[in-house]
A and B are shown apart, each in its own frame.
Chain A
Amino acid sequence: MSDASNRTERSPRANARTGVTGRSLRRRALALGIVGVVVLGACSESANKKATNGNPPTSVLPGVSDCDGASSIIACAPKNSMLTKYLPDAPKEATGTPITLGVINQDTGAAGAFPELTLAVKTAVKFINTELNGVDGHPIELVTCNTNFSPDLSQSCAQEMVAKKATAVVGGIDIWGTGITTLENNKIPYVGGIPVSFEAARSSVSFQFSGGLWGAVLGMGKYAMTDLKAKKIAIIYGDFGPIKDAAELGKKVFEKQGAEVTLIPTSSVNADMVTAINQTAQASPDAVIALTADSGCKPTMVTAKQLNLQAPVMYTGACASPNIVNSVGDAAEGAIFNLEADLDPKNSDNVVYQSIAKRYGPEFGYEAQGAGTVSFRAMMNLYAVMRDLGGDNVSSPAILKAFRQARDQPSFFGHPYTCDKKQLEGYDAMCSPQQTLGVLKKGTISQLTDWIEVGGPKA
């Protein structure tokens, strides 16, 4: 037996369910679009993706320094991080009465499993409790819940948070978002994660620090019209729920601004992308936005190259995964991606994040990864709000009020956020939909733009 047998694979957990759970089975076909939506929401801040099929992770992003030699993260953290004002002089472990927070995420599921989001929050909380003295002495206690890709379990998770008296819930990926109504009814804040459902993007108790697909398409379109002077834009998209909604939002906004927009819907059950790319080419676009992700990225890149599509193609950050760009070779060269982050290796939050992940992540099996970054950011932003309130004053209504009043608040490893329901019209929960774009050149992504304002008053 070779060393191949020792490869990384998520091991089956204890107490495996062996029963047949039919209503979970029926969700399988959701893979038609779900995996796409999920990963689309994620930014490509990842530096390392878990190896599969024996390939070691090969980063396409610039690396960052870390705190390898330091006694603690506090000791080595750069002084201009968003967390700086909350750092004690020396590491201090919290021992007071705990504050309960929840995490709702699709840790397992037929159409994709995203445990890294839960693990990112656990890693962040471990750091907070171990080094930051919790929330003014109150350690954070996490209640985690797995929707398992089921709308009923999404509701069940939300009720679990109610029963466990969670002060707030940190979002992960919840395709259905059915539980958010329960959180809303109980006035429990739903903070961050990746907004892939309309409920996450619109609920009055939801506060999001990622633009999701909606922000991505608007950011790419704005870049196309202003920097590339595009008059004609083609949008290739999966004909499914929020992806379709984002494409149609793009069409509405770009046409209003004078561009001619062609929508090219595709199905994930296509054998190839030849027809879609031909349709795109026949529209003679000046720029192309490809709302594909995951298994849709490679075919789009390869076919666009093979059929010599002339216009620059912009992809979602999920397509910037090393697994994808490394395996398509030249076809990815020159591709533009949305990032929602500042890739500067000296970015203080980036350094802190990578260092925390390296030091506290292994206990949970967490590596600094794309989708996990978004939940990590949410946890840190929530932590900042709780610290500003003061540990003894933390409550659901106080957190709701603080977020609702937030204007230009610093966001961990992201654009400052403002939760005034005006940042992205029609998607009230979006507090920082701003985008950055990067371009892949010679195997490395470099920053292409500064922050692009999308949808809000500054857009």
Chain B
Amino acid sequence: MSDYLQQALTGLGSGAVIAVLAIGLVLTFRASNVINLAHGAMGMYTAYVYFGLRNFDLAGADRGGDLVLPIIGLPTSVHIVDRPTVVTALLISLVVATMLGLVVYGFVFRPLRAAPPLARIVASLGVFLYLQSVMQLRVTADGGGAAALQLTSLLPDGVVHLGNATIPTASFVLAGLAIAVAVGLALVFRFTRFGLATRAAAEHEKGAVLTGLSPDRLGYLNWAIASVLAGLAVIAIAGMSSKLDPIDTSLLVVPALAAALLGGLNGFAATTIAGLAIGMSQSVLSTFQARALWLPDFLPKGSLREALPVILILVAITVRGSHLPTRESIIETRLPASPTPHRVFLWAGILTAAAAVGLLTLDAQWRLAIVVSTIATLIALSSVVLTGYVGQISLAQYAFAGLAAFVTARLAVDGLGFPWAPMLGVAVAVGVGILVGIPAVRVRGMALAIATLGAAVAIEALVFASPTFFGITGVPRPYLFGIDLGFLSTGAENFRAAFGLFALGVLAVSMIAVANLRRSPTGLRWLAVRSNERAAAAAGIDVSNTKLLAFAVSSLLSGLGGALLAYESPALSPQQFLVIGALAILALTYLGGIATLSGALLAGVLASGGIVTRLQGGATGDASSYQFAISGLVLVVVAILYPDGISIALRRGVSRWRRA
């Protein structure tokens, strides 16, 4: 047996878990048109329930049977049974998983059936954040350490020796179970009334209702099954590998997404094969990267395996874009309101003047907060253009900002002066933005969101982790026409107003430019494409070029934000630009109003370290341990109650008040 084949088999266990999680993603997508980012987190919670119940073999933990509760305000856990057997613990866990699936669908995604796809993404991000944060606080030592849980395996012990490789027997069992689940579900969906009904509803919801089916009931059932599968998968792998962690385990959803997309978000068999293949090919890549000494130094060798699933996502979407199913809903989804900006110069003047006065009169901490909000607004503005005006959900905006930041910093440290270094940095961001936009010509909605998520992770794995950009410090101070625009100084002069005013100027010009674009024929073309691509094409609009232009403008804005960050932050870190940041900034912009300039402003003001943080007392304020869990809840609630965003809700409130 060849060496690489042996190595491939070492990835069988993780491939099986990816496969089962991916099947769950397919189920929830078919049932409710949701790509559930919280799927891994839901499995993680169920696994903690199981291992918490069985936690009585450790010294001092003499009875087990404690059910960990994921609800803020309730006790950490309740005792329900002494020393439960494996079967009892498993049954209780699966009942809990079923309830979790029902609750998440019933309270979060069912009310969002009429909401735009972005609302569902935001809501699933909210659930993801909530479960991760609450479990991190409830099951780990000091909110960060490893939990004192003994993770005993449900699967048989023992190993199989294949040449140089030693593979746990459990890996083969797990792979067999994954295949059995796929075959079982395929049979159920093919031959049972429930399966046929789900397929019918997925293909044509209105038709299904007319024939007496209840899409709601089908949704509940599918979510329950998906949640149980996620729980079983995580319990199995955690027992086998002794690895269970609120954050890492939740992120297993990323390779699972790749498998689900490769399977066309439809077929269980294809999804399972894709999952197993991803797990095994990651193992091969691990071996390859350790041996391929000829790989260039700028390539981060350890990250190749991380990049694989996302590159597969991109390929799958680009190649299969038109084949990915889109699910018709019984309720017509609305597009977020995008009112025409009025009195832009006036508002830009007032806000810029107010911020400038703040920069010139307030203390250093406030200057820092204003600068942080200014840069965050610029990046949020890029989401307004791309997602709000053109309807292209992009999760790569932070990656574009990071690209510009790192290129700017690298070039500046290597001697290229200001403004050439940031201009080149922004140019690189725009170039990559247009490249990433190419799949957008073929796909839209959720699929594009996942494609851009893939692009962001690929940029993260292959570019940000590159030694070329590693540990850059000491970016020279920027000077323009002899004026020192540096951010840092000493004493009370630190966080200099000059830099803040420059950033504010960039933002003001960008805001006015975007407003003018929105009001111009280009803006109307953007809205036309967002509304109906075929109708836009019939009206003579070049849809492809319109989308690509939006990607270019959007990445330009992100790039400007990133270039400013290169001068604002004394030490850039790749972790400042992780994909989860893109999700957060998109979620904030969505909350503010994704298709309005005021939405971007609200997102900037709310950004961590920005003006709202300062109002709360800044770094010396008293932060809650539950801050992130509460943030997750807020995302869910606002997505449900104000699908058009806070600024539109406020605007409507003011209008109603005026009429009254």
Contact = CB atoms under 8 A, between A and B. Distances in A.
Interface in B621-641: 621-628, 630-631, 634-635
B89 to A, nearest CB: 14
- Size category of the binding interface on chain B: 35 or more
Given A17-B623, A156-B609, A327-B149, A32 B240 contact: no
A97 interface: no
A20 B571 contact: no
A101 to B, nearest CB: 15
B85 interface: no
B150 interface: yes
Interface string A45-71: 000011111111010000000000000
Nearest to B150: A327
A159 B365 contact: yes
Contacts of B398: 26
A226 interface: no
B582 interface: yes
Contact of B243 (A58, A264, A265, A298): A298
Contacts of B326: none
Contacts of B149: 53, 327
B77 A15 contact: no
A49 B585 contact: no
A152 B372 contact: yes
Contact of B488 (A185, A274, A281): A185
A323 B146 contact: yes
A397 to B, nearest CB: 14
B168 A113 contact: no
Contacts of A308: 159, 166
A23 B581 contact: yes
A276 interface: yes
Given A5-B78, A185-B488, A54 B7 contact: no
A175 B66 CA distance: 34
Nearest to B12: A274
Contacts of B157: 306
B609 A28 contact: no
B573 A241 contact: yes
B655 interface: no
A159 B471 CA distance: 22
Contacts of B587: 20, 22, 25
A327 B495 CA distance: 48
A20 B591 contact: yes
Interface in A143-200: 143-148, 150-157, 159-160, 162-163, 175-178, 180-182, 185-186, 197-199
A34 interface: yes
A21 B627 CA distance: 9
A55 B61 contact: yes
A105 to B, nearest CB: 10
A39 B145 contact: yes
A216 B313 CA distance: 39
Interface in B567-611: 569-571, 573-576, 578-585, 587-588, 591, 603, 606-610
Given A23-B609, A151-B569, A278 B166 contact: yes
B237 interface: yes
A184 to B, nearest CB: 9
A146 to B, nearest CB: 6
B182 interface: no
A275 interface: yes
B388 to A, nearest CB: 16
B13 interface: yes
B618 interface: yes
Contacts of B574: 241
Interface in A322-376: 322-324, 326-329, 331, 369
Interface stretch (A6-14, A398-406, A433-441): A6-14
Given A13-B623, A58-B59, A307-B168, A20 B606 contact: yes
A186 B251 CA distance: 41
A108 interface: yes
Interface string B32-73: 000000000000000000001001001111000010100010
A387 interface: no
Nearest to B171: A274
Interface string A299-314: 1011100111000000
A198 B471 contact: yes
Given A108-B624, A178-B570, A182-B494, A20 B634 contact: yes
A53 B494 contact: no
Contacts of A163: 363-365, 492
B504 to A, nearest CB: 17
B159 A306 contact: yes
Contacts of A52: 139-141, 147-148
B197 to A, nearest CB: 33
A294 B241 contact: no
Contacts of A270: 14, 243, 248
B247 interface: yes
Highest count of chain B CB atoms <10 Å: which of A4, A34, A323: A4
A15 B630 CA distance: 13
A9 B585 contact: no
Contacts of A299: 241-243
A275 B283 contact: yes
A122 B607 CA distance: 31
A295 B243 contact: yes
A110 B628 contact: yes
A239 B7 contact: no
Contact of A28 (B159, B616, B628): B628
Interface in B233-251: 237, 240-245, 247-248, 251
Contact of B148 (A5, A145, A307, A323): A323
A272 B233 CA distance: 13
Contacts of A90: none
Interface stretch (B202-210, B300-308, B509-517): B300-308
B349 interface: no
Highest count of chain B CB atoms <10 Å: which of A15, A175, A267: A267
Contacts of A326: 58-59, 148
A7 B583 CA distance: 34
Given A31-B248, A279-B290, A5 B75 contact: yes
Contact of B365 (A10, A156, A298): A156
A80 interface: no
B312 interface: no
Interface string A251-286: 000000000001111111111111110110110000
Nearest to A7: B76
B332 interface: no
B293 to A, nearest CB: 11
B272 to A, nearest CB: 15
A272 B241 contact: yes
B88 interface: no
A12 B251 CA distance: 26
Contact of A279 (B251, B282, B286): B286
A335 to B, nearest CB: 14
20 contacts: A19-B606, A22-B607, A25-B129, A52-B140, A52-B147, A54-B66, A55-B61, A56-B60, A113-B143, A115-B142, A148-B608, A151-B576, A157-B619, A159-B494, A239-B465, A264-B290, A272-B13, A274-B167, A275-B7, A322-B148
Given A13-B625, A34-B575, A143-B620, 18 more contacts: A2-B78, A16-B624, A16-B627, A23-B609, A25-B608, A26-B578, A28-B129, A144-B620, A147-B619, A178-B571, A186-B491, A198-B471, A265-B286, A268-B245, A271-B14, A279-B287, A296-B243, A322-B148
The 3 A-B pairs of least Cβ separation, nearest first, read: A26-B581, A265-B302, A152-B609
Interface of B: 7, 10-11, 13-14, 17-18, 52, 55, 58-61, 66, 68, 72, 75-79, 129, 132-133, 137-151, 157, 159, 164-168, 171, 237, 240-245, 247-248, 251-252, 254-255, 279, 282-283, 286-287, 289-290, 300-303, 305-306, 363-365, 368-369, 372, 376, 398, 465, 470-471, 473, 488-492, 494-495, 569-571, 573-576, 578-585, 587-588, 591, 603, 606-610, 612-613, 616-628, 630-631, 634-635
